[in-house]
Amino acid sequence: MVDFSIYDQKQPEVNALQCPNCKTVYYPAPMVCTKCHTRRDPSQVFFSAWDKVPVEGPCKLLTWTRVWALPEGYNVKYLQFGVVEFENGLRASVRLEADEPRTGMALYAAAGVTTERSGKDVYGLIARAP
C-alpha cells in the first residue's frame, strides 16, 4: 500500500510494507501475503501490523519512458517515468529526473514534491542521478 504520510510530518515519505511472518517486502502490499498467507489488517484489530519499510535509497533504472502529450496545465515539455529496483530487490515506479536516462543507470530515489503543475503540491517518489 502506498503510504504518503504527509499530514503528520514535514518530510513526505513513501513506505513499503513487510510481512511480519516471512519478512517479504511488498510495494504495494496485498491484504494477504502471497507466500505465507499472513493477513494484513490496517485497523490492527484482528491481526498485527505489517512493518513499514521506507522506499528510498540507491536503485537501478530498469526501464523508462518520456511522455510528451501532457494535459493542459503543465509548464514543462515532457515528464519522465521509470521503474527502478532497490538494493533489497523491491521494484517501484518513479518520477524520473535524469537528463539522459539510460537503462541500468544508478539512481537515488526519495519522496518529494512534484511541482510541474500549478495548484496543490503533489507528492511522489522521485529518482535522480546521485
Q: Which is nearer to Zn ion, 35 or 66 (CB)?
A: 35
Q: Which is nearer to Zn ion, 91 or 128 (CB)?
A: 91
DSSP 74-108: B-SS-EEEEEEEETTS-EEEEEEE-SS--TT-EEE
Extract the C-alpha cell encoding 65. Answer: 519512458
Binding site residues, Zn ion, CB under 5 A: 19, 21-22, 24, 33, 35-36, 38
The answer to whether 5 touches 12, Cβ cutoff 8 Å, is yes
Whether the bond between 28 and the residue before it is cis, its omega within 30 degrees of 0, is yes
Shortest Å distance, C-beta 117 to Zn ion? 38
Q: Which is nearer to Zn ion, 50 or 86 (CB)?
A: 50
Shortest Å distance, C-beta 112 to Zn ion? 30
Distance CA 130, CA 128 (A): 6
Shortest Å distance, C-beta 4 to Zn ion? 24
Shortest Å distance, C-beta 18 to Zn ion? 9
First-to-final CA distance of the chain: 27
Q: Which is nearer to Zn ion, 21 or 93 (CB)?
A: 21
